[in-house]
Chain A
């Protein structure tokens, strides 16, 4: 047969390598971040939420002392680490899970599936968006705490090193878990109903809204299965006075535990995403 059927093999390849995936990934980040801030509801519910909650707690409990007689602590200082951890969960898990479920049902993913965009670039775009918005969100929460509520920020560089790795690990884990979770809702509309309660329950049992030491031991143990408890614990090490350490489980900040538990969830999220992520549900 003399026909020269054009095939993928004979067609000129245009660099399917990692370089192209990364370049398009950064192009996606730009588009995703732009799109995020133009979407009014996500800015309110995920971006500003921790600042709003911090403000409410700081104002509502402004008369209370969360520390001791000798070492008083304001509500704003007490809630700051929890709000930063909640921000990681909201910007990552909640935002991603809802966003991707929406994109699956509104046709965005179907359109992308028909283009030569690598899945990897799409993920880079999503994680980059979470990272960018997460950094801005944490900065805003810390600035508001410091400027509006006089929270004293740590001065030791070692604390900020801890902050940096807990933040990066936390935000990445949270984003990846969000991508993994996005396959669960059957439609974009049900995504909010499925994801928000999960995120809310986690926040209540992980020491975000309620002091973790106030919870019964069995609930503390249960919460320890999930990553948010560990992210919040890492943030408490950074922002709370050393005297609070004895109130933790095992009376220690247990930073290695924070790294291991969060890292484990990152691996689980990556595996689930690798196995389950599809641009579209075929034949639905």
Chain B
């Protein structure tokens, strides 16, 4: 028996509003236990895509299966297997953190222990506090706690760490790693590329509603984009050279004479690669539109 059917299968997904295509033939798969990061600028179609997968929006075309079910037809049993952390919301929050989590735990067949979940998001000291009295970052952690209280097989995290301080973010990463270790499949959207690099196994980059690249975190953007860069300045201005042998380049500069000014050897980070991809895409579109 083969139990490796993808947890998420998206084929040629399309969502149009009038003549505007918010999502344009996007395809990807997420395997069981995998953490997939969906990256892209604001308005690129990330949230539309994730909300179609969560069952919040109808699609215009293509096929989508989440845990083997079409999200447009997902029932309560299907929802019981999902954890959804939406983008921030402004609920009135007139109940305490523990009351809210205890209540939501009752919705699920196999909920996690409420106090353990509160501890895992670092809110032990605030467990008895009304949610409306928490700071933005603390409320966000309640959102995350509500997303994982039902021990989901698949967890959607839509920009989960917005408003977190660096320490809280580190703590959150730890939490996600422990969920991964338990076998939870995760779909993450984030603006923080270091977060995607820390947590993601694979990533897809969406821009203008299209998937412009998809692959393992350490392969995205292609081999070329990962070649180190040597940068320096001289009388002729700034120079930049992509090379597999940065040491040799530096040695030849030294051999040519004086110590080069502003010398840097850079291994492109996921962020550099991502920004390059998005700007290449934007540029390609402009050229296309100019024709």
Contacts and interface: CB of A to CB of B under 8 A. Distances in A.
Interface of A: 2-8, 11-14, 16, 23-24, 27-28, 30-31, 34-36, 38-39, 102-103, 106-108, 110-111, 113-118, 280, 282-283
Nearest to A121: B107
A35 B92 contact: yes
Given A8-B69, A102-B92, A107-B86, A114 B77 contact: no
A114 B78 contact: no
Given A8-B75, A114-B54, A282-B58, A38 B80 contact: no
Interface stretch (B2-10, B191-199, B247-255, B277-285): B2-10
Contacts of A39: 92, 94
A3 B4 contact: yes
Q: Which of A5, A30, A39, A118: most chain B Cβ within 10 A? A: A5
A35 B3 contact: no
Contact of A113 (B3, B56, B69, B75): B56
Contacts of A11: 77-78, 81
Interface of B: 1-5, 17, 54-58, 65, 67-69, 74-82, 84, 86, 89-92, 94-95, 99-100, 103-104, 106-109, 130, 146, 150, 153
A280 B106 contact: no
A67 to B, nearest CB: 44
Nearest to A107: B89
A4 to B, nearest CB: 6
Contact of B57 (A23, A30, A111, A282): A282
Contacts of A8: 68-69, 74-75, 77-78
A114 B82 contact: yes
Contacts of B84: 111, 114-115
B103 A116 contact: no
Nearest to A102: B92
B81 A24 contact: no
B56 A5 contact: no
Contacts of A118: 76
Nearest to B149: A115
Nearest to B83: A114
Contact of A31 (B5, B103, B153): B103
B109 to A, nearest CB: 4
A116 B146 contact: no
Given A27-B106, A282-B58, A115 B89 contact: no
Given A34-B95, A114-B84, A106 B103 contact: no
B106 A282 contact: no
B132 to A, nearest CB: 9
Contacts of A31: 95, 99-100, 103
B57 to A, nearest CB: 6
A41 to B, nearest CB: 11
A5 B76 contact: no
Contacts of B108: 115-116
B4 A116 contact: no
Contacts of B78: 8, 11
Given A2-B2, A3-B5, A7-B67, 11 more contacts: A4-B1, A6-B5, A12-B109, A24-B106, A30-B103, A31-B103, A115-B84, A116-B79, A116-B107, A117-B107, A282-B58
A33 to B, nearest CB: 11
Contact of B5 (A5, A38, A110): A5
